[in-house]
Amino acid sequence: MIDETFLTTEEVLSYLQVNLRTVYRLIKAGKIPAVRVGRQWRFRKSDIDAWLERERSHSIPPMVPSAPPAQPAKPDGRLRVLVVDDEASIRDLLSKTLALADYDVDVAPDGQVALERMRLCSYDLLITDLKMPGMDGLTVIHEARRLHASLPVIIITGFSTEASAIEAANLGVSGYLQKPFKMSKMLLLAATAIDQ
C-alpha cells in the first residue's frame, strides 16, 4: 500500500512507470530528492508530483490551432523525440516517461501538426499512432521520411492489422507496439531505434 507521504523505490517505479536505472539517474542528477533509509530509498510523493508538473509544463506545449514553434536543438546534447497521438492521455504518458529518461519531447495531436514541427526542427526519433483523424500514421511516416530520410520511427497502435504491419515493415520502422504497452518496452525500443 502506498504511503500518503513517502514512497519506496518499488512504489516510485510503479508510479512513474520507469525502470530502476532511470530512477537512479534522476536521483544522481538531483532532479528528484530522495532520502536513504538503511538499504532503501524513500521519496516524498509531493516532491515527485512537483517534479512531474515541472517536466510536464516544459514538455507539453499549449494546444493552439496551428503548431506552436518547436524548440531549436539544445546545446546540452539531449536527444529529441516527437510523439504523435490523438489521445491526450497517451501523449501525456509518453511525454512524461521519455522526459524522465532524459529525452527532450515534443508532442503533436495529429499528423498535420507533426509535419509542421518536423519542418521547423530535426528529431532523433518519431513515435506515432497509426489510426488518427485526418492524416493517419502511415502518411505521417511517408511525409517524415521525405523530410528526414533516416529518421527512426516507432509505431504505436490499438488497431493493428496485418496490412498495416506489412506496410510498416516495408517502411523500415524500428518498432511496432500494440496498445496497451509497457513503458519499459517503449524506453528499450526508443534507445535501440536511436542507436541503430
Residue 55 backbone phi and psi in degrees, to 5? -65, -40
Report pLDDT digits (tens) over 106-118: 999 999 999 999 9
Torsion, Cα 164 169 175 178, to 10 degrees, reads 20
Q: What angle do CA 156, 101, 135 make, to 5 degrees?
A: 25
- Whole-model pTM? 0.63
CA atoms of 162 and 110, how far apart (whole Å): 23
* Beta-bridge partners for 125: 81
Q: Which residues of the chain have pLDDT under 50?
A: 1-3, 59-73, 75
**Residue 15: CB atoms within 10 Å:** 15
Query: Which of these, 111, 140, 127, lies nearest to 187 by C-alpha position?
Result: 127
**Residue 181: CB atoms within 10 Å:** 14
Q: Which alpha helices (H) appear in the chain, and where do they start and end?
A: 9-16, 20-28, 45-59, 88-100, 111-120, 137-147, 162-170, 183-195
Determine the pLDDT at residue 58: 53
